[in-house]
Amino acid sequence: MRGITHKIYPLIFFLLCCLGSCTEQIDTSARYVFTSDCVMSYLEKHDAYSEYVQLLNITPISFKSKSTVGQLLSARGHFTVFAPTNEAIATYLQEVYEEDPSLMSGPSWDAFYSEHKLDSIRKVIVYNSVIDSGDHEEAFRTSDFPNEDGTEFPLNNMNDRKLSVRHTGIDTIFINNSCRVNIKERDILATNGVIHQVESVIAPKDVTATMYLQEILDQQREGFLVMAKAVQACGLLDTLSKIRDEVYENRYLRNEIPENVHMFIDGHFPNGDNWTPKHRLYGFTIFAETDEFWRSQGLDPKAPSATLLPQLVQWIVSHDQYSRDDVFTTDENYDQETNLLYQWTTYHILPFRAPADRLVFHVNEFGYNPTKPYTYTIPMYEVYTTMGKRRLLKIYESAESNGIYLNRFPNLDTDRTSVYHELSCDADKVGCFVDRDPDKAILNDIINCCIYPIDAPLSYNDATRDNFARQRLRFDGMTLFPEAMSNDIRLKRSSDEKNQDVYIPADVIYKYFDNMWMNDQTIFIYLNAYGYNWCNLHSDEMKAKKRYEITFKLPPVPRRGTYELRYDVLPNGDRGIQQFYFGDDRARLPAAGIPVNLMRNIKDMNVGWEADGQDEDYNIEVDKRLRNNGVMKGAKSVTANGSTSDIERNRSTNLRYIIVRQTMDPDKTYYMKVKSVLDSEEMEFYMDYMELCPKEVYDNPERPEDIW
């Protein structure tokens, strides 16, 4: 890893865990080597892997099983194996010995002082080398590897870690930046998987964000030194050291949290098995101005913190990097939530880990073709709530933006018959470019965090808040839950059942999502829907059965004003009838209107729905008629499988309910509750996306709200 001295603490952490950018395209059609062997028998036939084979034959699959990984690789399956040579393993043992001589007397297997440490090092080599694609996914050939540098494989390895890919030249591939895939001994197709020879052992370090930033501070290493000093001064290093919820981990291992529940869903998952997450991981994403930027502003990153930080605070004040509605202090008590530096720093941090290819999701938006994943059509964005004081951050990407930006507010072609592209972007609304170049961003070096350099200062100042207050805010329901991203639950690119339908335990078992509260009877499921062409935002959705009662913490509004809270529905006969509640006192939420029948489509509600015709003036009248009845058509941007015709707006089976229309305050936290009003335990709750729409947008006489 760049700039990190791997001391004993990463290795000790792993030992404890064992207990408990485009590349040049080349013709790969003749690359593959076909063998009638399974993975294990192929490795056994080649002397170059004899050390690795020995490790596979003595390393158990898990602490619960006596079966070895070698036996696993002899069975049916779809395994991707990054097989290290004898030379690679010998080099790794030498590195382990040089890094920590207290572990062993020399670089050999019989030199370890502790059998436990010996077993742990074996697991490092074996577990990190195998990706099990399960029953439903194929193993990864090099042609299936992620195409953008620094991007991770969609599936974890046996060590529950994501491996990343980097292309450094024609046909030159590295795993995790430093482990080179042999240019000849790769794409060996066995009967149960694919083998790629690697020239060094894959052994990712368990370095936390705190360790990484602390080493920057200790070495005064430039790059993100100013951000590191701000994080330290604000008392955030302890927070950024968190990796996982050990209470959940231990309860899961003791089988106190069920591994799965049985719930039949729509006929799509007839076996009804819904799988519980194995871990409850913590994560963070930091967007940071670079030290090069701060030098251009007259600040010396290597100046002592006692000198640098007051200068930074003064820079924030003099450059209006705050909102005049904010209440803050500018003294040197930086670790107080009311301190300006604390508020400014925490606005740069999201409370989950977002890899480079998951900052913005492209799945099924209007005109998007998933077989051409980097050919974008209409703008897509995610809206998240930052750490510290609850504030909005938008992550945006479009065909015209040429990359991902924070808080970009372009001028869009919103005509009803247009294709919703960027027309232009005012200089003061461009936002911050997020650099995902693995030479600059810290993508895979930190176990619980990604750090991205940005090219402009990021702040929740008056201009940013005003821009948010003039925009409809659409947010997928899963953006409410940071745990969904840190634990790789949301939109995981896998059709395996354990990743498709995920059971989130009820609070009585364990509170998994901090921003959601459930009664004891609720069975809550997240449907990943990878490979399905459902006409939902990103295709995925949330469901629940039994006599459910679920409360969600909503994102903050940017300014005090009147907003509509809307709830998108795809009705069908499996849905239930639910009562909505809304307010800022979670214990005493008033009912919002009458119960809503999620089984009825908009055409059958007798509210004046008609499909769009050629007369746009008449289409507008239909929209007004629907709004007067508290409903709206679906969005034009949301489609089935990226279609330009099969879109939410054209379907009577998609609609948006206007739940409330009232004044909201940015300094208050609002909640929405849904409760089943039926006696039946089989009818289901459904949720896809919601919207917070300011009056300036939905009731603008000069520029009506767009249909996208």
Same domain for 191 and 218, yes or no, is no
Q: What is the arithmetic mean of pLDDT over 560-567?
A: 98
Q: Residues 154, 34: one domain?
A: yes
Taking 70 as the threshold, does the pLDDT of residue 267 lie above it?
Answer: no
CATH of the domain at 592: 2.60.120
Reported as a single tens digit per residue, the pLDDT across 310-341 is 999 999 999 999 999 999 999 999 999 999 99
The pLDDT tens digits of the residues spanning 54-101 come to 999 999 998 778 899 999 999 999 999 999 999 999 999 999 999 999
For residue 400, is pLDDT > 60? Answer: yes
Question: Residue 647: which of 378, 411, 400, 396 has the closest Cα?
Answer: 378
Give me the pLDDT at residue 513, please: 98
pLDDT score, position 154: 95
| pLDDT over 50 (residue 26) | no
The pLDDT assigned to 264 comes to 61
Is pTM beyond 0.75 here?
yes
Q: Are 176 and 294 found together in one domain?
A: no
Judging by beta carbons within 10 Å of its beta carbon (0-12, 13-18, 19+), is residue 561 exposed, middle or buried?
middle
Encode pLDDT of 438-469 as tens digits. 999 999 999 999 999 999 999 999 999 999 99
CATH number, position 186: 2.30.180.10
Q: Quick one: pLDDT at residue 266?
A: 53
Q: Around Cβ 623, how many Cβ atoms within 10 Å?
A: 20
pLDDT tens-digit series, residues 465-520: 999 999 999 999 999 999 999 999 999 999 888 899 899 999 999 999 999 999 99
Residue 447 falls inside a structural domain: no
Same domain, 50 and 125: yes
Verify that 193 and 216 share a domain, yes or no.
no
**Is residue 539 located within the same domain as residue 600?**
yes
Please write down the long-range contacts of 256-264, taking CB distance under 8 Å and 24 or more positions apart. 257/505, 257/509, 257/510, 258/503, 258/505, 258/509, 260/503, 261/503, 261/523, 263/503, 263/523, 263/525, 263/545
Looking at the fold, whether 584 and 616 belong to one and the same domain comes out as yes
Domain membership of residue 144 as a residue range: 8-198
Share of the chain above pLDDT 90, in %: 87
Query: Given this model, what pLDDT does residue 14 score?
Result: 43
Q: Is the pLDDT of residue 181 over 60?
A: yes
Task: Say how many domains are in the chain.
Answer: 3
Q: Are residues 668 and 625 in the same domain?
A: yes
Task: For residue 704, tell me if it sits in a domain.
Answer: no
From 304, 323, 349, give the residue that closes a domain. 349
Mean pLDDT for the stretch of residues 335-364: 97
Whether 386 is covered by a domain: the verdict is no
Q: At 199, which amino acid appears?
A: E
Q: Is the pLDDT of residue 16 over 50?
A: no
Report the pLDDT averaged over residues 1-16. Answer: 39
Residue 367 lies in a domain: no
> Which residue's structure tokens are 């409330």?
660
Residue 246 placed within a domain:
yes
**Contact between 128 and 204 (Cβ < 8 Å):** yes
Helix 115-127 and helix 8-19: axis angle, to 10°?
Answer: 90
Does 680 or 292 have the greater pLDDT score?
Answer: 292
- In this prediction, residue 94 carries a pLDDT of 97
Supply the pLDDT for residue 453.
98
Q: Domain for residue 608, yes or no?
A: yes
pLDDT at site 455: 97
> What are the tens digits of pLDDT across the range 520-557?
999 999 999 998 889 999 999 999 989 999 999 999 99
- Give the whole-number percent of the chain exceeding pLDDT 70: 94
Say if CB 376 and CB 397 are below 8 A apart: yes
Last residue of a domain, one of 349, 370, 401: 349
If asked whether residues 490 and 574 sit together in one domain, one would say yes
Last residue of a domain, one of 314, 349, 384: 349
- 620 lies in the same domain as 548: yes
**Confidence category of residue 23, pLDDT binned at 50, 70, 90:** very low
Please give the pLDDT value at position 169: 81
- Asked whether residue 464 is assigned to any structural domain, the reply reads no
pLDDT of 31 higher than 70: no
Is residue 378 assigned to a domain? Answer: no
Q: How far is CA 671 from CA 414, 496, 512, 514, 668, in A?
A: 31, 33, 18, 13, 10
Residues 183 and 40 in one domain: yes
Residue 406 has pLDDT above 70, yes or no: yes
Secondary structure in 3-state letters for 347-401: CCEECCCCCHHHCCCCCCECCCCCCCCCCCCCCEEEEEECCCCCCEEEEEECCCC
pLDDT of 3: 40
User: Binning pLDDT at 50, 70 and 90, where does residue 109 land?
Assistant: very high
Across the range 142-152, mean pLDDT stands at 93
- In the structure, what pLDDT confidence band is assigned to residue 204 with cuts at 50, 70 and 90? very high
169, 243: one domain: no
Q: What's the 3-state SS for 189-254? A: EECCEEEEEECCCCCCCCCCHHHHHHHHHHHCCCCCHHHHHHHHHCCCCCHHHCCECHHHHHHHHC
